[in-house]
């Protein structure tokens, strides 16, 4: 079977999944419960700990991260309540979402695992960059940009899940073609199935839309996710075909204090803090 025939088979598999939504992955109920509880000011740290404690694998993830060098203290966490108090509720909610997404799209085929690892590395760098930019731009809830960045890749990861039953795995270029064709529409279907807020669906839909018309107003979460995507592609793919950053409408709306460029034409704000961003991204591996 030649490459074009294989591509047609892959497309058929993805379209069948899109048409039969019962075959799409679902986030665990506990993920939604934790997000709702964390947003409720009446929820205590002990309440959240009891909720997380219902999921053994999630408990292990939270406790392991509390031992990370990022949270090194003289008094290590002795239990979930200590771990949540040490890391903070927003950070823990992010860990829950990361764990849930990675668990959803586990694949067994070694070559699919390779594609997943490549995709997840870019996703992690993008999400970490989004949170960093949101902080620097003074967003009151930078973790919202982090979650939005994660969710904007749901369709990209779901393509791998849709291909898990195929005998022949696409190469990286074919996978990227499939992502360009289907990741947005598949991601929208998944996020609606998960009853995610409309703002997350809009951000996922606009992700990678470099040529959006100029609009007035401050930089928003969609802009941040696109800036993060742009830079993550530039850092990870040296032969990228992206337009110059200065030609993008997003760049025109950045505050002048933050729009300085480095020698490669990327935001100096990001390139000069890349080590910090990468270290945070590696916490997601």
Domain spans, the chain = 26-104, 107-285
The per-residue pLDDT for 2 is 47
Q: pTM (2 decimals)?
A: 0.87
Question: 24-59: per-residue pLDDT in tens?
Answer: 778 888 898 998 898 888 999 999 999 999 999 999
Question: 265-284: per-residue pLDDT in tens?
Answer: 999 999 999 999 999 898 88
What 3-state DSSP class applies to 272?
Answer: coil
- The backbone torsions φ and ψ at residue 171, rounded to the nearest 5 degrees and listed phi first, read -75, 175
CATH class of 107-285: mainly alpha
Question: 113-133: per-residue pLDDT in tens?
Answer: 889 999 999 999 999 999 999
Question: 95-106: per-residue pLDDT in tens?
Answer: 998 988 888 877
110 vs 152, higher pLDDT: 152
Q: How confident is the model at residue 217 (pLDDT cuts 50, 70, 90)?
A: confident
55 Rama class: left (phi>0) / alpha (psi -120 to 50) / beta: beta
User: How far apart (Å, rounded) are the C-alpha atoms in residues 156 and 186?
Assistant: 8
Q: Could you give the C-alpha distances from 266 to 258, 269, 278, in angstroms and in order? A: 11, 9, 16
Q: Is the pLDDT of residue 229 over 80?
A: yes
C-beta neighbour count of 123 within 10 angstroms: 25
User: How far apart (Å, rounded) are the C-alpha atoms in residues 123 and 236?
Assistant: 11
Please tell me the number of Cα atoms within 13 Å of 101 on its side-chain side. 28
The per-residue pLDDT for 125 is 96
């Amino acid at each position: 079977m030649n490459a074009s025939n294989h591509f047609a088979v892959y497309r058929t598999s993805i379209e069948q999944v899109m048409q039969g939504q019962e075959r799409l992955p679902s986030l665990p109920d506990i993920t939604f419960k934790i997000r709702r509880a964390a947003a409720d000011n009446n929820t205590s740290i002990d309440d959240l700990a009891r909720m997380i404690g219902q999921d053994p694998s999630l408990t292990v993830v939270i406790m392991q991260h509390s031992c990370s060098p990022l949270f090194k203290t003289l008094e290590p966490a002795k239990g979930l309540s200590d771990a949540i108090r040490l890391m903070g509720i927003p950070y823990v909610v992010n860990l829950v979402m990361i764990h849930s997404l990675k668990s959803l799209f586990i694949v067994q085929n070694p070559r699919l695992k390779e594609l997943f690892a490549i995709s997840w590395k870019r996703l992690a760098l993008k999400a970490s960059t989004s949170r960093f930019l949101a902080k620097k731009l003074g967003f009151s809830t930078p973790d919202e940009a982090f979650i939005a960045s994660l969710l904007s890749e749901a369709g990209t990861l779901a393509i791998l899940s849709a291909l898990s039953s195929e005998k022949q795995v696409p190469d990286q270029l074919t996978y990227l073609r499939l992502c360009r064709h289907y990741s947005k529409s598949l991601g929208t279907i998944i996020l609606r199935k998960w009853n995610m807020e409309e703002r997350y669906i809009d951000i996922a839909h606009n992700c990678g839309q470099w040529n959006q018309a100029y609009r007035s107003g401050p930089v928003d979460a969609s802009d941040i996710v696109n800036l993060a995507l742009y830079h993550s592609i530039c850092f990870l793919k040296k032969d990228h075909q992206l337009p110059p950053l200065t030609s993008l409408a997003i760049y025109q709306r950045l505050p002048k204090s933050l729009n300085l460029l480095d020698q490669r034409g990327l935001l100096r704000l990001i390139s000069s803090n890349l080590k910090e961003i990468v270290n945070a991204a590696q916490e997601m591996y």
